[in-house]
Amino acid sequence: MGKLDLITIVIIAANVIISYKGFGDFNFFEKYKFQVGAIQRGEKMRLFSAGFLHADNQHLFFNMVSLYFFADVVIRLLNPLQFIIIYIGSLLLGNLLSFYFHKNEYHYSAVGASGAVSGIIYSAILLQPGMNLYMFFIPIPIPAYLFGIGYLLYSIYGMKNRVGNIGHDAHFGGAIGGYLITLLLAPYLFQTNMLMIGLLALPIVLLFGMKKAGKI
């Protein structure tokens, strides 16, 4: 796990280069970030471009390390083209869900690859549910599905408490994107992996339940 395929290197490089351009160029950052009012005025490009900008180094590092851990599983068990479809589809669905949640907040803005990365995490876990992660700071292996579910629970916390200029709700749109697109591309999972399909649906159901109850 964590092998760097060429397409993963290209995506990480694009995120680093564009994010650092945004760190040093306020006008560039403002032009390409997710911003509800601008999108409503017709600047639809922001739904895509915001996925390559980040709030700070920590935000960029967390997303790229998460991508590093999970990308190879998707590329190896599907193929590079399907990986790109999942990555971009999850990025766009993440930002579309964020737009839906915040469509009445004209000044709401956010950035990050979180939607795309959430989609890749969910895809990888669906494809290889038994894999473990070996984190630098934890001496024991962590089941990948626990990391994935924890990632989304942190996103709920971030959404509820409006933590940073980060698209926490885009995590969920991305997870839904990765979940659905992977099941479309690999329908055999319904025969081999129904337990994980059900388990990974739980945080998504929790999100929409909280949203309906007005708790987010």
pLDDT tens-digit profile of 128-143? 988 887 766 667 788 8
43 part of a folded domain = yes
CA distances from 157 to 13, 18, 151, 161 (A): 29, 27, 10, 6
129 part of a folded domain = yes
**CATH number of the domain enclosing 38:** 1.20.1540.10
Q: What is the pTM of this model?
A: 0.88
pLDDT tens-digit series, residues 58-92: 989 989 988 998 999 999 999 999 999 999 999 99
80 part of a folded domain = yes
Looking at the DSSP bridge assignments, the partners of residue 143 are: 132
Which value, to the nearest 10 degrees, does the dihedral of the CA atoms of residues 164, 57, 19, 145 take? -80
Boundaries of domain holding 118: 6-212
Confidence band of 45 (pLDDT split at 50, 70, 90)? very high
Confidence band of 19 (pLDDT split at 50, 70, 90)? very high
1 part of a folded domain = no
Contacts with 203 (C-beta within 8 Å, 6 or more apart), sequence order: 149, 152, 153, 156, 172, 175
Terminal alpha carbon distance of the chain: 35
135 part of a folded domain = yes
50 part of a folded domain = yes
Confidence band of 93 (pLDDT split at 50, 70, 90)? very high
Looking at the DSSP bridge assignments, the partners of residue 142 are: 133
How many folded domains does the chain comprise? 1
